[in-house]
Structure formats: structure tokens, C-alpha cells
Amino acid sequence: MTLAALWLVALAALVAIMFMPFVVTPLRRAIISKPLLLRFRQVMPRMSQTERDALEAGTVSWDGQLFCGAPAWHELLSIERSKLTAEEQHFLDHDVETLCAMVSDWETTNVHKDLPPHVWQYIRERGFLGMIIPKAYGGLGFSAYAHSEVVTKLSTRCASVAVTVLVPNSLGPGELLLHYGTDAQKSHYLPRLARGLDIPCFALTSPQAGSDAAAIPDYGVVCYGEHDGERVLGLRVTWDKRYITLGPVATLLGLAFHAYDPDHLVGTRDDVGITCALIPTSHPGVDIGRRHMPLNAVFQNGPNSGRDVFIPMEWVIGGAPMLGKGWRMLMESLAAGRGISLPSSNTGMGKLAVRTTGAYARVRTQFKTPIGRFEGIEEALTRMGGNLYAMDATRALTATLVDRGEKPSVLSGIAKLHITERARQVINDAMDIVGGKGICMGPSNFLGAAYMQMPVSITVEGANILTRSLIVFGQGAVRCHPFVLREMAATQERNRRKALHDFDGALYGHLRFALRNFIRTLALGVTGSHFVRVPAGIAPETRRYYQQATRLSSSLALVADVAMATLGGALKRKEKMSARLGDVLSQLYLCSATLWRYEREGRQAADAPLMHWAIRDAMFRAQAALDGVLDNFPSPLLGALMRRVVFPLGRPYVVPSDALGHAVATLLIAPSPTRDRLTAGMFIGSPAEPVGLLERALAMTIGAEPIERKLADAIRNGVLVASMAPGEGAGEIATRAVTAGVITDAEKAILLTQRELAAAVVRVDDFGPDLGTSLLCTHAPDADVATHRPSRAIAGRAVA
């Protein structure tokens, strides 16, 4: 054998020795997996049951695909959008429409300080409080999508009525009873809840435990006590709660508290865990009824408390077997409910803002030009339209997933976080556009209530800062990653042989997964993702978006793995980095929802500018988030190396162009099927109310614009004199234009009606000096100016 051959044999033997531990399973486990498992156990604290419940709550659906690095887009596109049944559609068109017509934000806030009694009665009688309760128990048995549509529409009219309806149908006694209640509890309570005989609330938040809800100090001790004249097993409960919606008017209090069993009356543990119970508010010792006033909103909300209140064991939801299982119950219920309630209410507010502000920007003129034509205003309108398109897409997809049996804990968190954040931007942009019209409160103000109450949505059901910093990626990295949860479970396994077997399988699956994503990410970066296969039959104009989203998914999977490998448990404390990684996942979900909506709505060409803007904006935000992660790696060298892999040819995504923004803004300031689809499901109201008035003014403005151009041309050409005398009004000019043959009598009538409607639109409300009892004088269209002065009657029709 030659020397060269000997070298080759030696090299082959060396390579075989190096790779043998990876190929021979027993050897790999002994010299690699076992030491790593021991190390992992040393550095990873044992998971508490509360942490385990939070991580394992809900299901993984499309978020798992986004985290895998190569999403199966055909699976997303195969999801049919939920549709309303004939019964649900009738309820929306009639019952919800009627309820909207019965209320207004102004009257509930400033006149009644609550929903009027006849509105409460209507809500109870028509089943609004029992939409999610099955028909077998007397409820409406509506789908999650129908629930979402109802809340969305109500939110375009009055926040207080929307909150009143959404809370009992979200996280509360009804939801908990359906999934965890005993047969006796269901049979007793669900029919009463469905018919509105009981008004429920659920008390979780304590003064000392807000975002850290698992740390509630409220407690109950298992003991014997007297109930209905008998000595029975139960709990003696002490609690102090606040921010509880519907609490002041509730007849049935759902309560979360920490249960203890020091005498071991029901088991062997002293600390039983978080428990949920139902307590009639008439029960002795329950202190309830006082109200908070959250940012001038008057939906019922307030504190409640009790000290050493004895409740029988049968009041625990699910009975004694469910003692200590309350946290998992809450997490699983929240996984679905959080994706419906606030995303729907904030999408509704967004629709109200977009439709009204778009109309206002066309009707309101400055410098003889509709303000919607100015580029500064146009930029804000663009954000409003593009954001709303993505918001409504995300709302609809999340509700559809819930209807398919999913409990998408991570996706519902993303939906709540990003729909409320974008709604905040939509409302802020709208306020910037309407200016003083949005600032001066009164019955003609269509925006002020939404602006004031917006922070409530940001705060509740998981404050957005907390959700972004700790939950989206913190929970998503564990739940959505195909291997991390398995690795963590293996470190907690007490059987050493099983632990090693499970850890070895998860670890090497993880390594193969990371290697594939490294190769894929680099290849997609070098090729610009142009060769990524996309689903057959998609809209040609969206092809590149599927390819680019796949590249972002692969980059997320790789960067997340590198971050977890280098930082380990410290990543949990690196909240800024965790938040940015969560932002990438979130923006990918918004992209997915937008593409899904575009396909499900039949690829409406007129809607394409909205779709393009929403996708490009989300991709640019995802890129910025990745950029922030790479810039802040603990090791600058590793960050630089990862940047070469993720962005080998530089950053490819840019902000949406001004031309695209112009196309989006133009869609908002004129009636069209696209504008109707964007704001579908809105309550418009009568022509005399603010939204109806704006709709009339917009239509009349568009009709008057050609007439205005005729007048301008005539003045420019010397056919018509602009003004014959100081203070000459539009009527005199129009009369002279008719005499000169510039316009017809019919065109004069259109022009004058438009001027009157426009004046009514821009007029703001004013009141008497005391701003007190005069606030009640809001109903007469020709009210004396010394009290409240609403808009005047226009062309014989009241407009305010």
C-alpha cells in the first residue's frame, strides 16, 4: 500500500471516529447526550405546576408552521373562512342592529352613566349574554366567528354595550362551566346565564397581583362549616379584587383564589393551588357593588372583596376534583377567549375611525382643497387603511381557528397585542386628521370616546408590554418549536432511562432542525428566496410574498435557536431580545392572515393596494426586529456572523412606497365596494346621526366637485366674478352662476346642500357655562344656543 493510500485510510478512520458518536446511538447517548442532560438539569430550575400549566395550555396550529422555517402554505390556504349561519346572520342584521340603534356613547356616558334599563332588558331577553352557551342549555350556541362579528359591530357604535356583551361570552363563568363544570352546575347555572337571569363576572386581578396573576394573595382554606343549616365540607375564603367588569351589577361572582388544605381534608398536600369557584353575590360576606370609572367609560366595572366567607365545596367549579386546577382552566379558556373579545372590539373601533375619518377628509376643505388630498393627511390615512386590513384579517383568521377546535394560545396573544396596538395607531392618526372635531366632546363627536378608552384595551387581558416582552416568544419558543418542549420535559422526567431516551431523541432532532434552517436561511438569503416553491393556484401578485415570508420564517427559526443556545435561561431575562423575536413571529402571522384574507375574499383587484401595503409594512417591521436581535447579541462576533447568514446581500425589505400609500388613501375618501369591504359590518345609523351625516355629506361632496370645478373655471375665465360684495355667501354666487348659464338650478341645489352638510359635519358641540345639566340637552335639533347647540336641520331633515 502506498503512502498516499495509508493517509487516505488514516483520514477515513479519523472521520469515522469523529462521526461514530453521532451515528451509533448507544455511544452517542453515553458520551454526548447523558452529560448534556445532566448539565441541563443543573442549570434549568424545576418547573412549577403553574408554569407547566401556562406552557401547555391551548394548542399549536399555524404558529407551529411559522416557527418551523418552511411553512406549509397550502395548509393555511386550505382553511375555509368561517361563515355565519342563517340564524347568526339574522341576529346580526336585526337584533344587533336594533341594539346599536338603542344606544350611543354620548348618552351612556353623560346622561345615564350606564346602559339605560330598557337596553339592559333587551340584552337579557335577546340572549346577548349567552351567545356561546349551547342551545341545549337555552343559549344561542353561536360560533366564535359569529361572536366576533357581533362584538365588532357593537364596537362601531358604543364601547360600553360592546364590553357588556363580550365579557360574559369570553373568559368568565359561562366558559368555565361549559368546559369544567359538573353536570349539576351546568344544569343549574347555564340556563340562567343564557336567559340573563344571572349576570356573571369573573374576579382574578388583585391589587398585589395584576400582570403576575398567578401570584394572587387571595386564599381559601378547606374546612367544615355551616351551609343551609347543615355542616358541610367547603372553604373559608378571603379575597380583595379590583377591575372586575360587570362586578357592580353581577349576581354570580366567579372567583379565583389560592386553596390550602392544612388538615388534609381532601388530599395530602397543604398547598392545593389556584382554584375557581362560583359565589352568588347575595351570599353573606360578599362586598360588591362599588364602581371604577375606567377613562370615562361607563361599562360596569369595580372592586369586590370578602373576609372569611364560607362556601360549600359544591360551589367550586368542577367540584372537589378540580381543586387546585384553576390556573390551567383559566389559561386554556384565555387561549381562545383572548383571541375573540379584544381583537373584535378594537377592529370595530378601527372600522369606525377609518370610515368616518376617510369621509371627513374628503368633506373638510382647507386652502380650497379637501384635506385628504394633502400628502401629510394622506400618509396618516394610508396607515389607517393598511392597518385595518391586516387587523380584520387577523381577527377573522383567529376566530376561524377557534371554530376549528383550536385553542391558539400563542396566536390569540399575538392577535390581542397587535390588533390593539394597531388600533391605537389608527385612532391616533384619525385624531390627528380630524383635529378639534375629535377633541370637543358632544353627541356629534364620532371619535373622542374611542380615543379616551383606547388604553383600556392595551391594558386588560394581558398588558401589551407584558405580552410582547414575556409571552409571545417566551411561550411561542417553547410551544411552537418542534423540539424545545420535549427537551424541557426530558429534563423534568424522574425516570433516568426514559429521560435519557427522550432527551437524546429531542436533542438530535433539534440539531438536524437547526442545521436545515442554517442551510436554508443562507441559501434563501443568497438567492433572494426567488426559488422557493409556492402553492399552486395562488394570485400571481402575491407569489413573492409567500417566498419572502418563508425566508423570514427560516431566519426566525435559526436566530431563535442560536439565541436560545447561547443565552439559555438568561434569554427569559433579556426581555428586549425576546420581544423582538416575538415581533418577527407576530408580523409573520399578520402576513399570513393578510394573504389568507386576500385569497378567501376572491382576490379583489381593487383591494390589492391594501393587501400590498399591509404585507410590505409587516415584512419591514419583521426585518427591523431581526436587525435589532442581531445588533444586540451578547457576542458581537456571533451577531456579525449571523447577519452574514440572514442578510448576506443586505436588508431586502423596504417601507411601502408613497405611490402605494396614495392608492390606499384614495380608497378611503370615496364610496366604493373596497371601502365597504374594509369597514364591513359597521353600524351606520340614521342620516341624522354623526356617521350617517358623514355618509350623506361624502356622497354630496363627490357630486358637487364637478360643479365646483365649473365655477372655478368660470371665475378663472372671467365669465363669473368670485365675489360681488363682502360676506357674499355660496347661495349668492350660485345664483349668479345660474344666471350666467354656468350651472343649472339642479346643480345649484346640489351645491348648496353640500355646503350645508359640510358645515354640519365640521361643526362641533358646545354647552352652557356650567357644563352640567346642559349636557342633558342633546336631543332637540333646534335647541337654544344657551344650552347645547347641535347641528341645525338641513334641507328639512334633522342632522344632529
Apex 211 CA angle, 210 and 217, nearest 5: 45
Beta bridge partners of 200: 252
Residue type, 336: A
689 among known catalytic residues: no
Question: Quick one: DSSP state of residue 383?
Answer: H
Q: Are 105 and 452 in contact (CB under 8 A)?
A: no
What sign for the dihedral angle of Cα 184, 189, 192, 193? negative
Element (H, E) at 226: strand 219-227
What is the chain's Cα-based Rg?
A: 31
Residue (of 91, 122, 296, 158) closest to 685 by Cα position: 158
What is the rounded CA–CA span in Å between residue 410 and residue 474?
A: 10
User: Burial of 741 by CB count in 10 Å (0-12 exposed, 13-18 middle, 19+ buried)?
Assistant: exposed
Rounded distance, CA 576 to CA 410, Å? 18
Helix (H, G, I), strand (E, B) or coil at 57: coil
Q: Which amino acid is at 209?
A: A
**Cα separation of 110 and 106, whole Å?**
6
378, 461, 487, 689: which one is catalytic? 461
Amino acid letter, 157: R
Cell numbers of 518, please? 442554517
- State the distance between the two ends of the chain, measured CA to CA, in whole angstroms: 103
Nearest-CA neighbor of 585 among 481, 473, 423? 473
309: which strand partners?
237
Question: Which residue is associated with the grid cell 360588591?
Answer: 288
**How far apart are alpha carbons 409 and 469 in whole angstroms?**
16
Specify whether the CB–CB gap between 541 and 608 falls below 8 A. yes
* DSSP state letters, 83-148: ---HHHHHIIIIIIHHHHHH--HHHIIIIISS--HHHHHHHHHTTGGGTTS-GGGTS----HHHHH
Q: Element (H or E) spanning 234, and its range?
A: strand 230-245
Dist CA 364 CA 371 (whole Å): 6
Contacts of range 513-520, beta carbons closer than 8 Å, 24 or more positions apart: 513/68, 513/69, 513/482, 513/483, 513/557, 513/561, 514/558, 514/561, 516/69, 517/69, 517/554, 517/557, 517/558, 517/561, 518/558, 518/645, 520/69, 520/70, 520/554
For residues 547-579, one letter each, b for 16 or more C-beta atoms within 10 angstroms of the residue's C-beta and e for the rest, the string is bbbbbbbbbbbbbbbbbbeebeeebeebbebbb
Residues β-bridged to residue 245: 301
Nearest 5 degrees, angle CA 332-CA 338-CA 343? 160
- At position 728, the amino acid (one-letter code) is E
Secondary structure class of 591 (helix, strand, coil): helix
* Residue 254 region by backbone torsions, left for phi larger than 0, else alpha for psi between -120 and 50, else beta: beta
- The C-alpha atoms of residue 789 and residue 766 are separated, in whole angstroms, by 6
**Hunting for cell 439565541 — which residue is that?**
563
3-state helix, strand, coil in the chain (%, to 5): 60, 10, 30
Q: Which three cell numbers stand for residue 265?
A: 381534608
Please give the single-letter amino acid code of residue 408: P
Residue in this structure with the C-alpha cell 434569554, named with its chain if needed: 571
Q: Report residue 235: phi and psi, to 5°.
A: -140, 145
Query: Could you give the residue numbers annotated as active site?
Result: 461
